[in-house]
Amino acid sequence: MRITPWEVEGVIDYSRLIQEFGMKPFSELIGKLPETSPLIRRGVIFGHRDYERIVGAINNKKPWAVMSGFMPSGMPHFGHKMTMDEIVWHQKIGGNAFVAIADMEAHVVRGFSWDEVKKVGLEYIKSIIALGLNENAIIYFQSASSSIRDLAFELSAEVNWSELKAIYGFISETTLAKMYVTSIQAADILQPQLKEYGGPKPVVIPVGADQDPHIRLTRDLAARVNIFALESIDSGIRIRSRKDTDYLRKISDVLNFDKKIYDEHIDAFGDKTEIENEIRRFELELGGYAFLPPSSTYHRFITGLTGGKMSSSKPESFISLLDKPEEAEKKVMKAITGGRGSAEEQRKLGGEPDKCSVFELYVIHLVEDDKELEEIRNECTSGKILCGHCKKRAASLVSEFLREHQEKMKEAEARLDAYNIVIR
Ligand code: TRP
Ligand code: SF4
């Protein structure tokens, strides 16, 4: 398997992915959350980094945020819907929501004109509103946000060429702009922690695993631009200054914990969280960022309806949120299933739902209720239902959903003024 932000190839082995990338399985957190979403319960969200921070903020009723971005290089489809559902769910359970329209990325990486990305970007915005995003969200086009551009510039001062090469596999021919949009995305991810949005806080970024290089880089950058570098030691926190050592002297004057002072660092002893909070508060006073490393969740890649990968050059391989309901029904009827060679065989052996693109539609998009989903799985594996019939049911759920969704998009268009949207 080969996974980068710009291409995904091969058969994906999720437990290997977790190991190789150093993520953690999401399943270990399920019991700690007061509420779960269907995507979490069904293992579609399979991995995370540092989501414990989010769980902590939820349980302690502290501020936290959710942010993700969409590249408007093609119309929004069911893959984007999954991320949108994740943002909306996190907003419902108390996160401040941030939505980036990655028009700079689409312009630079995919060559779309500014007019095109604006038009397409608006379809994403209407879609996520139709899916339930409320007016408290911050929505912006990257190119229209001066705070994103300023922060990206600051962050880019901490990234050098060998690092970009190692993380993204960039080559001599890679353009400066393509490199620069990695800083823009890092700025998207860290912006919710700026002073104007209430300062440092846990932020979760729901993405596909292909976006993990961006997450890793941004977690590093978050630490690099801070004044103080914190490291956990036996019964406290070791503090170093990444900027002037003068900052260390300043913090030793105000820090109200048992401490040992050295030339290059200070060891403070006591409750780690309390020490960290105190240092962050002080860093903010000094004009620093005091960023926390962002958290992330990773969802599975969705399979194309035609088998194999979903591809924007093959419209029959996915359902677009703007498809005519009748057309979407046809796509479902033609989809590759986990059915057997003959009806007789299928009645005997049952179908294979875990290899079926139609069952995947039920899991991710069409069936809210877990019991109902279990029934569909049983009907399939017991051979009680055959694929033709099953696809018809999925097709009518899809067209029903699309009809309603497109109606809600129209309503969203009429209500856009009620939202905080930074638009060029
Ligand atoms: N690069 C992402 C994609 O290709 C889009 C994106 C832009 C994004 N900014 C982001 C995703 C911030 C997560 C967080 O889909
Ligand atoms: Fe897929 Fe339905 Fe066929 Fe089972 S019966 S393989 S779920 S289409």
55 CA distance to ligand 2 middle (Å): 36
Domain co-membership, 405 together with 279: no
Residue 377's pLDDT is what?
Answer: 98
The bound ligand whose nearest atom lies closest to the alpha carbon of 205 is 1
- Give the dihedral sign, CA 136/142/146/152: positive
Q: Is the CB of 189 under 6 A from ligand 1?
A: yes
Domain co-membership, 35 together with 154: yes
Of the candidates 258, 259, 218, 223, the residue with the CA atom closest to the CA atom of residue 241: 223
Residue 11's pLDDT is what?
Answer: 73
Of the candidates 231, 241, 236, the residue with the CA atom closest to the CA atom of residue 256: 236
16 CA distance to ligand 2 middle (Å): 27
SS3 (DSSP) at 375? helix
Please state, rounded to an integer, the average pLDDT across all residues of the chain.
95
Q: Is the CB of 394 under 6 A from ligand 2?
A: no
Q: Examine residue 421 and state whether it is found in any structural domain, yes or no.
A: no
Residue 41's pLDDT is what?
Answer: 97
Residue 198's pLDDT is what?
Answer: 96
Q: Is the pLDDT of residue 3 over 80?
A: no
Q: Examine residue 36 and state whether it is found in any structural domain, yes or no.
A: yes
Q: What is the distance, to the nearest Å, from the Cα of residue 217 to the centroid of all Cα atoms in its chain?
A: 15
Q: In the structure, what pLDDT confidence band is assigned to residue 13 with cuts at 50, 70 and 90?
A: confident
Domain co-membership, 196 together with 238: no
Find the domain containing 168 and state its range: 2-225+293-301
Domain co-membership, 154 together with 32: yes
Over residues 298-323, the mean pLDDT reads 88
152 CA distance to ligand 2 middle (Å): 47
Q: Is the CB of 367 under 6 A from ligand 2?
A: no
Domain co-membership, 29 together with 108: yes
Check which CATH number belongs to the domain holding 338 and give it: 1.10.240.10
Domain co-membership, 247 together with 147: no
Nearest-atom index, ligand 2, CA of 335: 8
| Each residue's pLDDT tens digit, 194-220 | 999 999 999 999 999 999 999 999 999
Containing 267, the helix (H) or strand (E) segment is strand 266-269
Domain co-membership, 143 together with 103: yes
Nearest-atom index, ligand 1, CA of 185: 9
Q: In the structure, what pLDDT confidence band is assigned to residue 311 with cuts at 50, 70 and 90?
A: confident
Residue that finishes a domain, picked among 301, 332, 359: 301
372 CA distance to ligand 2 middle (Å): 14
How many domains does the structure of the chain reveal? 3
Residue with the smallest CA separation from ligand 2 atom 4 is: 380
Q: Is the CB of 239 under 6 A from ligand 1?
A: no
The span from the CA of 186 to the CA of 181, in Å, is 8
Q: Is the CB of 363 under 6 A from ligand 2?
A: no
Domain co-membership, 150 together with 205: yes
- Whose structure tokens read 């109606």? 407
Q: Is the CB of 350 under 6 A from ligand 2?
A: no
Residue 179's pLDDT is what?
Answer: 97
Vertex 120 angle, CA 114 and 121, to 5°: 80
The span from the CA of 225 to the CA of 246, in Å, is 17
Q: Is the pLDDT of residue 145 over 80?
A: yes
Q: Is the CB of 188 under 6 A from ligand 1?
A: yes
In angstroms, the Cα distances linking 5 to 105, 171, 242, 243, 360 are: 12, 15, 30, 32, 23
β-partners of residue 97 are 66
Q: Examine residue 168 and state whether it is found in any structural domain, yes or no.
A: yes
The bound ligand whose nearest atom lies closest to the alpha carbon of 375 is 2
Q: Is the CB of 143 under 6 A from ligand 1?
A: no
The span from the CA of 367 to the CA of 223, in Å, is 41
Percent of the chain at pLDDT > 70 equals 100
Q: Examine residue 269 and state whether it is found in any structural domain, yes or no.
A: yes
The span from the CA of 196 to the CA of 193, in Å, is 8
The span from the CA of 185 to the CA of 8, in Å, is 19
Q: Examine residue 58 and state whether it is found in any structural domain, yes or no.
A: yes
Check which CATH number belongs to the domain holding 138 and give it: 3.40.50.620
| Each residue's pLDDT tens digit, 219-259 | 999 999 999 999 999 999 999 999 888 999 999 989 999 99
What's the predicted TM-score (pTM) here? Answer: 0.96
Residue 415's pLDDT is what?
Answer: 97
| Each residue's pLDDT tens digit, 14-41 | 888 899 889 999 999 999 999 999 999 9
153 CA distance to ligand 1 middle (Å): 18
Domain co-membership, 271 together with 355: no
Of the candidates 278, 81, 242, the residue with the CA atom closest to the CA atom of residue 158: 242
Q: Examine residue 307 and state whether it is found in any structural domain, yes or no.
A: no
| Each residue's pLDDT tens digit, 89-118 | 999 999 999 999 999 999 999 999 999 999
| Each residue's pLDDT tens digit, 345-374 | 999 999 999 999 999 999 999 999 999 999
Residue 420's pLDDT is what?
Answer: 95
Report how many helices (DSSP H) and strands (DSSP E) the chain contains, helices first.
17, 14
Q: Is the CB of 205 under 6 A from ligand 1?
A: yes
Q: In the structure, what pLDDT confidence band is assigned to residue 4 with cuts at 50, 70 and 90?
A: confident
Of the candidates 337, 296, 305, the residue with the CA atom closest to the CA atom of residue 205: 296
Q: In the structure, what pLDDT confidence band is assigned to residue 407 with cuts at 50, 70 and 90?
A: very high
| Each residue's pLDDT tens digit, 31-72 | 999 999 999 999 999 999 999 999 999 999 999 999 999 999
Over residues 150-175, the mean pLDDT reads 96
Q: Examine residue 125 and state whether it is found in any structural domain, yes or no.
A: yes
Q: Is the CB of 100 under 6 A from ligand 1?
A: yes
Cβ atoms 297, 204 nearer than 8 A: yes
Sorted by sequence, the CB contacts under 8 Å of residue 45 that are 6+ apart come out as 26, 37, 39, 86, 206, 297, 298, 299
Nearest-atom index, ligand 2, CA of 390: 2
337 CA distance to ligand 2 middle (Å): 6
Domain co-membership, 261 together with 400: no
Domain co-membership, 203 together with 243: no
Domain co-membership, 345 together with 255: no
Residue 27's pLDDT is what?
Answer: 96
Structure tokens, 183: 């800083």
Q: Hey, what amino acid is at 264?
A: E
Q: Examine residue 416 and state whether it is found in any structural domain, yes or no.
A: no
Percent of the chain at pLDDT > 90 equals 90
